[in-house]
């Protein structure tokens, strides 16, 4: 009985909201951490004018550059390039066809000179034509083994430790955490639960069309070479509405692609929170903003102060960047 | 201390899975109820070969004819017709324009003689052009007051009591319950949490396109007169994948519109459950199947036995139909 009682008490203690000073150890003390903690305490204090019911505690997170590193190129682009190489033996015609010919020679610059059209060709050649189950397996195999060219670490180990803590801290305070990314929804879902604690149904992203078919008497969903939705910029509030159906009270991003999500979130009634991760740490990560082709942060940075958005200065606000090796 | 201990014990008891014989009081004892209970017990018994982790306990429910009545016409069509009447003063041109002219004269048959085109005209005139917030308010006001032509009850009181119990029973066993309906996603979301205990982010349905805009300095999402997605028939597995991103282990429907959802769900690996509500009760509800223009059930009924789907005989399996007035 004594043991049973102990188990009950432990279970009870476990469901108490985490205390912030324990919950965010990788954040240096200062205005940024304080802004996060104060917001959470305001909206969770019963009796406070800003109190928000648990069901309405929706928080949305961009992925690339907000939850994991996006330099020197988006991880999904690295995936696509690896897939082109893997598929090349089945496509002898790629030797003479751009953007594949240049890609296979390792000349990324020429390959991408074709702009959006070239990128679409690469994405469709590598992301479409298979079933959803087949694609999931391809992604899982790649993400478990592929390594970052600079750090030599797996991409899923290059997630931001302070953001992992923030996700947990919010969930401990009854937030439902969602990813809202310009990246492919089916590229993220196979691993977001394990890496971020975010289940597939809480991932919003860009998508290609699917088609239901019976194949040899078995139902499958086939991935078509046809864009369905681009979950970026003004698409983010649309993606949020389509998938979540209610307005977040907190949003976290790092680039101009998150500007409209931040507006949609923070211009609602009641207490709201918007945060931008500013990449200021050229030593431990990368330093970039207004002129970066990847994760450009320009307009949203200008607007942050007037909109009351909290800006993370990665160099000064984060004690560590990645989880320990 | 004694009181605190009592509170702890009560809290602990509350999170235990409900016992089925208490949880489904509106279901008559028999093969149907037994099939439901046996499935749930199989997949929740630790150590059973069919055990399913809580995170993978995804159950999808059709709405019209599965969770609430759909006769003599889909509730959303009744909503659209009421909206045409309400909007008519702002549209003097409708007096001479089909399908509106016939509708306003009360001649539904002539109005709908235009087929899909007529329905699309009605839907777009009543469901598009406003912001998502405005539409939500219109739906909420209507659903709180509109009454069924035959029973005189509000539509949201014509939900099936046995299915409400089933939803709760599944959730008590750690299922995540979703609606997957051909109906409009934004027509359902404003009230599904209150009526079914299903939050907006767990509602999948048909949709029109949305556009993000700044209006007078405030961000809005405008509903466009442009179909985005039809969540019916072969669209249902697609809607499930887009929104949920994993395959349900249990699906509940009532018509051929649910056939592919049932196939997609029950042809996966491991223990699976498919159920069809067969409307056999002409006295307490309506009796219809193969030849009904609303909720036609023909092919799926033929396939039920070979596919192992459980068929609810509403007249014999359900003690009550609607919640008490």
Which residues, in sequence order, are CB contacts of A151 under 8 Å at separation 6+? A158
Question: In chain A, which residues have their Cβ closer than 8 Å to the Cβ of B186?
Answer: 245
pLDDT in tens, A69-112: 999 999 999 999 999 999 999 999 999 999 999 999 999 999 98
Res A7: pLDDT: 52
Q: What letter would DSSP give residue B131?
A: B
Res B166: pLDDT: 98
Q: How many residues does chain B have?
A: 325
Buried residues in A111-129 as b, exposed as e (16+ CB within 10 A)? bbeeeeebeebbbbbbbbe
Res A240: pLDDT: 98
ipTM for this model: 0.92
What mean pLDDT is predicted for residues B126-147? 97
Q: Read off the tokens for A13.
A: 């203690």
pLDDT in tens, B291-310: 999 999 999 999 999 999 99
Find residue A220's DSSP bridge partners. Answer: A213
pLDDT in tens, B211-254: 999 999 999 999 999 999 999 999 999 999 999 999 999 999 99
Which residues, in sequence order, are CB contacts of B243 under 8 Å at separation 6+? A201, A243, B178, B204
State which H helix or E strand residue B220 sits in. Answer: strand B218-229
Share of chain B above pLDDT 90, in %: 89
Contact B132 A241 (CB under 8 A): yes
pLDDT band at B4 (very low <50, low <70, confident <90, very high): low
Q: Please list the residue range(s) of chain B that carry CATH number 3.40.50.1000.
A: 17-72+156-317
Percentages helix, strand, coil for chain A (3-state, rounded to 5) are 50, 20, 35
Specify which of A5-9, A113-117, B47-51 reaches the highest per-range mean pLDDT. Answer: B47-51
The CA distance from B164 to B76, in Å, is 20
Label the pairing between strands A218-229 and A203-215: antiparallel
Q: What letter would DSSP give residue A131?
A: B
Of B74, B119, B124, whose CA–CA distance to B98 is shortest?
Answer: B119
Q: Read off the tokens for A26.
A: 């990788």
Res B136: pLDDT: 98
What mean pLDDT is predicted for residues B61-68? 98
Contact B263 A8 (CB under 8 A): no
Q: Name the architecture of domain B17-72+156-317.
A: 3-Layer(aba) Sandwich (3.40)
Q: Please list the residue range(s) of chain A that carry CATH number 3.40.50.1000.
A: 17-74+155-317
Res A4: pLDDT: 54
The CA distance from A131 to A210, in Å, is 9
Contact A246 B212 (CB under 8 A): no
Give the gap in angstroms from C-alpha A264 to the nearest C-alpha of chain B. Answer: 6
Classified as helix, coil or strand, B144 is: helix
Q: Give this prediction's pTM.
A: 0.92
pLDDT in tens, B17-36: 445 458 999 999 999 999 99
From residue A316, alpha-carbon distances to A29, A63, A282, A325 in Å are 10, 21, 12, 22
Q: What letter would DSSP give residue A154?
A: B
State which H helix or E strand residue B178 sits in. Answer: strand B176-184
The CA distance from B179 to B186, in Å, is 12
Classified as helix, coil or strand, A296 is: coil
For an interface test with A, give the residue of B241, B257, B268, B274 to mutate (most A CBs within 10 A): B241
From residue B131, alpha-carbon distances to A113, B211, B217 in Å are 40, 9, 15
Q: What letter would DSSP give residue A226?
A: E
Give the gap in angstroms from C-alpha B244 to the nearest C-alpha of chain A. Answer: 4
**φ, ψ dihedrals at A162, nearest 5°:** -60, -35
Give the gap in angstroms from C-alpha B133 to the nearest C-alpha of chain A. Answer: 10
The CA distance from A314 to A70, in Å, is 14
Contact A219 B243 (CB under 8 A): no
- In this predicted structure, which of A233-242, B84-93, B105-114 has the lowest mean pLDDT? B105-114
Of A221, A276, A275, A272, whose CA–CA distance to A249 is shortest?
Answer: A272
Buried residues in A228-266 as b, exposed as e (16+ CB within 10 A)? bbebbbbbbbbbbbbbbbbbbbbbbbbbbbbbbbbbbbb
The residue that leads in pLDDT, B161 or B16, is B161
Pick the CATH number of A17-74+155-317 from 1.10.1040.10, 3.40.50.880, 3.20.170.30, 3.40.50.1000: 3.40.50.1000
Of A207, A205, A262, A210, whose CA–CA distance to A232 is shortest?
Answer: A205
Ranges assigned E (strand) in A193-235: 203-215, 218-229
Identify whether the C-beta of residue A50 lies closer than 8 Å to the C-beta of residue A43: yes
Q: How many CB contacts within 8 angstroms connect chain A with chain B?
A: 95
Mean pLDDT over each residue of chain B, to the nearest integer:
93
Res B72: pLDDT: 95
Res B143: pLDDT: 98
Share of chain A above pLDDT 70, in %: 94
The CA distance from B289 to B243, in Å, is 29
The CA distance from A131 to A126, in Å, is 12
Res B21: pLDDT: 53
Res B304: pLDDT: 98
Give the gap in angstroms from C-alpha B63 to the nearest C-alpha of chain A. Answer: 17
Identify whether the C-beta of residue A178 lies closer than 8 Å to the C-beta of residue A58: yes
The CA distance from A118 to A99, in Å, is 6
Identify whether the C-beta of residue A251 lies closer than 8 Å to the C-beta of residue A261: yes
Contact B244 A9 (CB under 8 A): no
- In this predicted structure, which of A309-313, B12-16, B281-285 has the lowest mean pLDDT? B12-16
The residue that leads in pLDDT, B19 or A280, is A280
pLDDT band at A22 (very low <50, low <70, confident <90, very high): confident
Q: Which residue from B58, B214, B221 is facing A238, i.e. has the nearest CB?
A: B221
Res A18: pLDDT: 46
For an interface test with B, give the residue of A218, A241, A257, A262 to mutate (most B CBs within 10 A): A241
Mean pLDDT over each residue of chain A, to the nearest integer:
93
pLDDT in tens, A168-223: 999 999 999 999 999 999 999 999 999 999 999 999 999 999 999 999 999 999 99
- The answer on pLDDT for B16 being more than 70 is no
Contact B238 A264 (CB under 8 A): no
pLDDT in tens, A238-264: 999 999 999 999 999 999 999 999 999
């Amino acid at each position: 009985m004594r043991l049973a009682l102990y188990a009950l008490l432990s279970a009870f203690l476990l469901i108490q909201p985490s205390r912030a000073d324990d919950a965010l150890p990788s954040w240096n003390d200062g205005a940024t951490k304080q802004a996060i903690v104060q917001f959470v305490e305001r909206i969770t204090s019963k009796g406070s004018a800003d109190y928000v019911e648990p069901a309405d505690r929706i928080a949305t997170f961009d992925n690339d550059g907000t939850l994991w590193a996006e330099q020197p190129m988006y991880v999904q682009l690295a995936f696509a390039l690896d897939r082109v190489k893997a598929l090349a033996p089945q496509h002898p015609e790629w030797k003479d066809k751009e953007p594949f010919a240049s890609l296979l020679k390792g000349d990324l610059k020429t390959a991408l000179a074709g702009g959006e059209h070239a990128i679409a060709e690469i994405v469709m050649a590598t992301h479409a034509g298979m079933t959803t189950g087949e694609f999931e397996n391809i992604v899982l195999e790649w993400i478990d083994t592929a390594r970052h060219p600079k750090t030599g670490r797996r991409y899923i180990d290059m997630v931001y430790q302070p953001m992992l803590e923030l996700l947990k801290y919010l969930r401990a305070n009854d937030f439902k955490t969602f990813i809202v990314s310009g990246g492919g929804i089916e590229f993220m879902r196979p691993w977001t639960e394990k890496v971020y604690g975010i289940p597939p149904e809480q991932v919003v992203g860009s998508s290609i069309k699917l088609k239901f078919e019976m194949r040899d008497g078995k139902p499958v969903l086939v991935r078509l070479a046809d864009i369905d939705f681009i979950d970026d910029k003004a698409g983010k509030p649309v993606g949020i509405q389509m998938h979540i159906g209610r307005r977040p009270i907190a949003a976290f991003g790092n680039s101009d692609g998150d500007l409209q999500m931040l507006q949609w979130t923070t211009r609602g009634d009641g207490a709201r929170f918007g945060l931008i991760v500013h990449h200021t740490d050229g030593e431990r990560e990368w330093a970039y903003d207004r002129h970066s082709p990847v994760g450009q942060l320009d307009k949203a940075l200008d607007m942050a102060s007037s909109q009351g958005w909290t800006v993370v200065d990665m160099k000064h606000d984060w004690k560590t960047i990645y989880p320990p090796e």
